[in-house]
Chains A and B, each alone.
Chain A
């Protein structure tokens, strides 16, 4: 397992490194259209060929990886923080607060996510730059994706609240925020880490799903979701293996995260 985790780390470092070096590895950028070479096969000039409107697929994969890999953790961080605030505090405070917070959480969990995302996306202003659209997409994902984590954290915090060491601390006169900060939060950290790592592949996949529906990151900016749209249809599946690169990367990266996640789960346990 240790070797697997090391390998996973290595893969992630390589993928993240390559995506950060996109400007150097693929200088023409992700938006340049080689219209005379639209849909070209892999060549020395275009390592993974070009897409249907002539954009270099290699450059788009690198930039798309950068966007998906940098913003998915940001969305995961946002959702974990929201989960910590709502779930952690609800579990720690207990009583009416916990019931209200969990009722809100259940309400969020029961919402039809996809339709909610589509609606929220449709309500946003139209005239936003692609960069803003990327951030908005992940912000929406982060703001709506805290619920499952909040439930886990609420339960954990409630358990901690009734634990012997917290009772002892209380008996020693420690109360309120200080008790939470010194005794509860450090014990919530492993769960928070685990939730954070779990959320990353979930958000990557969510963005990919939105992208496949054409509702993710705005053109011409690429993301794994928008790149995966190239695999729509029988024509693509049967031919042009270079189109599978984003899918392979997605599988590899999500698998790597799962390996790292197993470690986090061990720590949390």
Chain B
């Protein structure tokens, strides 16, 4: 097995000496290391027979010889023998073409194989140079210039130059390709121009300002313009070596990877990464426990706690992630709901009162076993730059909630809340069947709202039925779902916040904003999207967050923690909240190395 081989490779020094008696000839004191380092008995006996030297001189000579021996080894051999890292993909990767990537499995493979110009450091959330030594965004936010590292080549040996960057950008922005990565760059209609200034310098000009332009290049893996291997020639630390559909993807070290560590050793350390396609999380967990996989990303809180009992050193809780769980009411004017219910749902006071009556601490503590944080607003505090720190979590208070509802004309009669028209306040919350956390949250909310006389029916539906009600028929009252955020920039959520968007879930595809606050959100989102001054963009989005909290179109419930597990033989892992949590620094990780 690859892994066993790597173990022996890392203990090269002693066995190398054992097979090299002439190198140690005359160094009798080395015999003392025999037991510990496995010196061959023949070599040891020769050492014992040699003429004694002065102790100090012997030590110096021995040290020098060891250093000379190490120096004779090729630098790369230090980096080799990092072992094989094994973990599971939860679905089949749909493509290896980095520009067409959409699904999580393909994103993971792109991350490990693709060379990007700039890389967002998943730990510090700061952009760092990769293939580009430096870069500059123009003041108008339309142009970005890169100065590339020299002397690099793709995994198949094809040299890398600015021509490859120009080729990649042309492919990326080709409307016929329908690249999801490319969509993020399309701020306005028009052509994207690339200008090769020199083999190592290039500028890319967009028809309109693109907010967070440099960060978007974190997702753009550079393709070779000349390689016959096309997208399989990569600049990242690993290269796809084998793919067995439905079973496994094997990545091997890219021998031409450009990066070295601080001591000049070539990266990556790992020999290979084996990615087993395993949708069943129980099986993934069992295999982890048996030592057949080394990492688990996005661990369930139940599994986390069980593992923490037996092997606390294996589990990592990186704190609140970017993912949120939220509920919202149907505010669509044409929804097939009674008018009085539409009036409740379209009332910000009603929505705020509901928000106030939900015990988020209990949701975090009971449902997620403490591995979630009560949500504050649209962005998680984990998003260090964009989170509006002035916002505070909603304080749970059924009394205040009831008071607010009474101020709106609701009244409590025999334990049941009634509106002005005498209608019982009853509504249903739909969530997707099979998601036990959401079902449990809905049941807790059901009991919380019962305390203020609201009767909630919890309905679980299969996902396609739920989506149809949510996007086509609008035949629902409230929905509880989650939002997975992979990006940090609010620009990536334009499709949620613009009132004209299809994903403006509470009231999508509005021709003109139906409320003043939605109009303001539209204006602020467009302002931040077209701005390049990060401070001004932040001010705009801070205000968006405040409006969302004030109006509560989404009632944000919790931000789940980023939980992961890393097996003992893995070294160098430092799980973070951003995708890919556990293997973001795979090129610096080793398995089974000493």
Bound together, the chains give a CA A235 to CA B306 distance in angstroms of: 7
A235 and B366 contact, CB distance less than 8 A: no
Bound together, the chains give a CA A269 to CA B443 distance in angstroms of: 49
- Please choose the segment from B394-402, B430-438, B571-579 that sits at the chain A interface, where 4 or more of its residues have CB less than 8 A away: B430-438
Top 10 closest A-B pairs, CB basis? Answer: A214-B433, A122-B465, A126-B428, A234-B282, A214-B460, A219-B458, A38-B366, A127-B428, A219-B443, A126-B459
A35 and B433 contact, CB distance less than 8 A: no
Shortest distance in angstroms between A136's beta carbon and chain B's nearest beta carbon?
A: 12
Q: Report, as a range, how many residues of chain A touch the other chain.
A: 20 to 34
**A229 adjacent to chain B (CB < 8 Å):** yes
Shortest distance in angstroms between B224's beta carbon and chain A's nearest beta carbon?
A: 44
Bound together, the chains give a CA A229 to CA B465 distance in angstroms of: 21
Interface of chain A residues 92 through 134 with chain B (CB within 8 A): 118-119, 121-122, 126-130, 133
Bound together, the chains give a CA A214 to CA B439 distance in angstroms of: 9
Given contacts A126-B476, A128-B457, contact A53 B306 (CB under 8 A): no
Interface of chain B residues 348 through 390 with chain A (CB within 8 A): 362, 365-367, 369
A220 and B443 contact, CB distance less than 8 A: yes
CB closest chain-B residue, reference A238 = B306
**A10 adjacent to chain B (CB < 8 Å):** no
Given contacts A118-B462, A235-B302, contact A229 B436 (CB under 8 A): yes
Residues in A with CB closer than 8 Å to B446 are 219-220
Residue among B303, B428, B433, B440 with max Cβ neighbours from chain A (10 Å): B433
B477 and A127 contact, CB distance less than 8 A: yes
A234 and B286 contact, CB distance less than 8 A: yes
B433 and A213 contact, CB distance less than 8 A: yes
Shortest distance in angstroms between B298's beta carbon and chain A's nearest beta carbon?
A: 15
Shortest distance in angstroms between B471's beta carbon and chain A's nearest beta carbon?
A: 15
Given contacts A53-B366, A122-B465, A215-B462, contact A234 B285 (CB under 8 A): yes
Shortest distance in angstroms between A195's beta carbon and chain B's nearest beta carbon?
A: 31
Q: Report, as a range, how many residues of chain B touch the other chain.
A: 35 or more
A218 and B447 contact, CB distance less than 8 A: no
Mark each residue of chain A from 180 to 214: 1 if its CB lies under 8 Å from any CB of chain B, else 0: 00000000000000000000000000000000011
Bound together, the chains give a CA A229 to CA B443 distance in angstroms of: 15
Interchain Cβ contacts under 8 Å between A and B, 5 examples:
A126-B428, A127-B477, A219-B458, A233-B282, A235-B302
Shortest distance in angstroms between B475's beta carbon and chain A's nearest beta carbon?
A: 8
A54 and B366 contact, CB distance less than 8 A: yes
List 10 additional contacts besides A54-B366, A129-B457; criterion CB under 8 Å. Answer: A33-B447, A38-B366, A119-B465, A122-B465, A126-B428, A218-B457, A219-B460, A220-B446, A235-B285, A235-B306
A35 and B362 contact, CB distance less than 8 A: yes
**A266 adjacent to chain B (CB < 8 Å):** no
Interface of chain A residues 230 through 252 with chain B (CB within 8 A): 232-235, 239
**B91 adjacent to chain A (CB < 8 Å):** no
Interface of chain A residues 2 through 48 with chain B (CB within 8 A): 31, 33, 35, 38-39
Q: Is the interface of B mostly helix, strand, loop or mixed?
A: helix
Bound together, the chains give a CA A247 to CA B460 distance in angstroms of: 23
Given contacts A53-B443, A126-B428, A219-B442, contact A213 B434 (CB under 8 A): yes
Bound together, the chains give a CA A215 to CA B365 distance in angstroms of: 26
Residues in B with CB closer than 8 Å to A54 are 366
**B427 adjacent to chain A (CB < 8 Å):** yes
Bound together, the chains give a CA A127 to CA B459 distance in angstroms of: 8
Residues in B with CB closer than 8 Å to A133 are 457
A126 and B430 contact, CB distance less than 8 A: yes
Residues in A with CB closer than 8 Å to B443 are 33, 53, 219-220
B426 and A127 contact, CB distance less than 8 A: yes
Interface of chain B residues 28 through 74 with chain A (CB within 8 A): none
Interface of chain B residues 400 through 455 with chain A (CB within 8 A): 426-428, 430, 433-434, 436, 439-440, 442-444, 446-447
Residues in A with CB closer than 8 Å to B428 are 126-127
**B127 adjacent to chain A (CB < 8 Å):** no
A53 and B461 contact, CB distance less than 8 A: no
CB closest chain-A residue, reference B361 = A35
Given contacts A31-B447, A33-B447, A235-B302, contact A127 B427 (CB under 8 A): yes
Residues in A with CB closer than 8 Å to B458 are 218-220
**A265 adjacent to chain B (CB < 8 Å):** no
Interface of chain B residues 216 through 233 with chain A (CB within 8 A): none
Shortest distance in angstroms between B308's beta carbon and chain A's nearest beta carbon?
A: 12
B306 and A239 contact, CB distance less than 8 A: yes
Bound together, the chains give a CA A35 to CA B443 distance in angstroms of: 12
Shortest distance in angstroms between A229's beta carbon and chain B's nearest beta carbon?
A: 7
Bound together, the chains give a CA A214 to CA B476 distance in angstroms of: 18
Residues in B with CB closer than 8 Å to A127 are 426-428, 457, 477
Given contacts A219-B439, A233-B302, contact A53 B367 (CB under 8 A): yes
Shortest distance in angstroms between B437's beta carbon and chain A's nearest beta carbon?
A: 9
Residues in B with CB closer than 8 Å to A229 are 436
Interface of chain A residues 113 through 164 with chain B (CB within 8 A): 118-119, 121-122, 126-130, 133
Bound together, the chains give a CA A54 to CA B369 distance in angstroms of: 12
Interface of chain B residues 253 through 306 with chain A (CB within 8 A): 281-282, 285-286, 302-303, 306
User: Which of B286, B434, B447, B475 is close to A214, meaning CB atoms less than 8 Å apart?
Assistant: B434
Bound together, the chains give a CA A170 to CA B107 distance in angstroms of: 78
Residues in B with CB closer than 8 Å to A128 are 457
Bound together, the chains give a CA A224 to CA B302 distance in angstroms of: 22
Residues in B with CB closer than 8 Å to A239 are 306
Residues in B with CB closer than 8 Å to A219 are 439, 442-443, 446, 458, 460
B285 and A232 contact, CB distance less than 8 A: no
Bound together, the chains give a CA A36 to CA B284 distance in angstroms of: 31
Residues in A with CB closer than 8 Å to B286 are 234
Residues in B with CB closer than 8 Å to A38 are 366
CB closest chain-A residue, reference B337 = A127
